[in-house]
Structure 1
């Protein structure tokens, strides 16, 4: 059980990490489900946001559909960590940045409206720091949801994304979708009519925004719409990225098994870097303690699908940045 959280707040966090209502007054609908007034729901979310327990209420998009992204890593000398992390975090489209226990210790996600933007950001970071940057783009997602039960016993469990997700129908994208999705990933206003606020900013009708978001969600382009929690602030302080040096032909079988394993919260295949970083298969384990995460990993290691594969465990020790992705070219200009 997550400690120091009011039971009603825990319900808001646990039950609304996905399937956030696409209706004119979503907070009223949530309140009706919990027996709360609309203003009470909004007030509670505002307090959780102010306390740093959530980063936003919004959406995440399927990788490399409406925008581009990559995971990157740098080997930063200890005395330069603060300065380099500041340089990285200031670049447009850096939406996650963590210090991890490894020679390659600074890890971040670079996003942008296209791959050219991502390449330019990575090259700028190389130039300004004089350090190498590993570029580790995703090849295959098995579970990219990162929504999971915070108390281990929710009456509405946050099941992981299916390991064989439906194909994203890219032909359904329309002009203006990038700005709409940028607004959604930036986060909903804590307002009685948050979708109306988006519609007003984009000079669209609220009904049009709701209809289009539902279509994008049904198409699989919006991977998740809900509360984006800050796990460390909620007691899940041990965040381990486990990377596996496994033969490419084994990943088709190993990926779905890892993704479905209890305690594994993300799983994907990424491109290795010859001579520097051989690891292809990644999974994330979030635990309330280091030992809890290691216990999960011990059970994972017994899976026949990963038997004999070398791995490294990279615990995070600090979070420098956690925001939504950069999607719209208008966002780059800003």
Structure 2
């Protein structure tokens, strides 16, 4: 793992990947906890964003609540992977894309304000690349809230399963607010006031809505979003399991609780092409460490003898916040 030598930097990364203060001067709260000044915290976070240690200070939104998203994949011909990846990343709905060790070698997440926007994104990518696009929609999450502790040894620290969602808490304007938060908060003393001004709202309104969306589980995490590869978590495997539909819940529950499994969810299979329903991610500092976690997963009662594939990621092409609202909508 990359050594984060300064104790204040380590504290900012370790302590504030979630539960970021929802107060007018949040970085002053971080400064008090770390024993430094607000200006020092802002400078350190800006430096870490500049050098790629973190992507942003911002939010993640519970899947398919205020917006829509899907995991997708294409099988790019060898020799055209970079070209195809560039085409995919030109689409405004794509916020994550990776090369993985498989025939289906480019994997990406398509996001948008609604399902129609995601469908349009996939259609554009298929038309422009000339390739079939697998649309692997989320069916149910078991563990999708990931953080990376600096001193956690060989595997990241896991976090609890997602909270129950209260969709009745959503109000007009929440989509634009979440769009601003997922892009990243401004690194200034009063970031909520800046966001409020951008949206034509008051700071008090923004603070109230952030608190309400967090309590409702719609805003799933607010804090420092790290680049795990930059910090040493470079051996990352997506493992897909051909679990029968009726057995997915038991298998997913067991898998999500296994140390070293960082993400776990059920996705819709694609008939005659991709039969796998259960997915998990293993983030590790070495391939050997990742394979050790996989061996433990294979020994779980619900997964013993189950057909599976291991797709290690080899390159990260893009990693940004999700698009929740169209730009013109967010500006209104």
Match of 1:79, SS?
coil
Partner of 1:142: 142
- Work out the CA distance in 2 between the residues paired with 1:230 and 1:296: 21
Partner of 2:307: 310
Give 1:27-42 correspondences, 5 Å limit.
Answer: 27-42=27-42
- Work out the CA distance in 1 between the residues paired with 2:50 and 2:210: 27
Give 1:1-150 correspondences, 5 Å limit.
Answer: 2-150=2-150
- Work out the CA distance in 2 between the residues paired with 1:7 and 1:312: 40
Shift of 1:159: 4.7
Runs of at least 4 residues off by over 2 Å = 1-8, 329-334
Shift of 1:237: 0.7
Shift of 1:331: 5.5
Match of 1:78, SS?
coil
Match of 1:122, SS?
helix
Which deviations, in whole Å up to 9, do the C-alpha atoms of 1:177-233 show, x marking residues without a partner? 111000000001111111111011011111110111000000000011111110000
Q: What TM-score do you get using the length of structure 1 for normalisation?
A: 0.95
Which deviations, in whole Å up to 9, do the C-alpha atoms of 1:240-298 show, x marking residues without a partner? 11111111111111112211211111000000001111110000010111111111111
Is the contact between residue 176 and residue 329 of structure 2 (CA under 8 Å) also seen in structure 1? no
Match of 1:233, SS?
coil
Shift of 1:332: 7.5
Which deviations, in whole Å up to 9, do the C-alpha atoms of 1:123-171 show, x marking residues without a partner? 1111111111000000000111121323117xxx965132xx4432222
- Work out the CA distance in 2 between the residues paired with 1:43 and 1:31: 11
- Alignment counterpart, residue 290 of structure 1, candidates 287, 290, 295: 287
Shift of 1:333: 8.9
Is the contact between residue 55 and residue 228 of structure 1 (CA under 8 Å) also seen in structure 2? yes
Aligned residues: 329
- Work out the CA distance in 2 between the residues paired with 1:288 and 1:7: 22
Say whether 1:201 aligns with 2:198. yes
Partner of 1:161: 160
- Work out the CA distance in 1 between the residues paired with 2:291 and 2:5: 25
- Work out the CA distance in 1 between the residues paired with 2:148 and 2:52: 18
Aligned CA-pair RMSD = 1.6
Say whether 1:277 aligns with 2:274. yes
Say whether 1:222 aligns with 2:204. no
> Residues 333 and 312 from structure 1, CA distance in 2 versus in 1: closer, same or farther, beyond 3 angstroms?
same
Q: What TM-score do you get using the length of structure 2 for normalisation?
A: 0.95
Match of 1:305, SS?
coil
Where structure 2 has 5 or more consecutive residues not aligned to the other structure, the ranges are none
Is the contact between residue 246 and residue 280 of structure 1 (CA under 8 Å) also seen in structure 2? yes
- Work out the CA distance in 2 between the residues paired with 1:221 and 1:195: 18
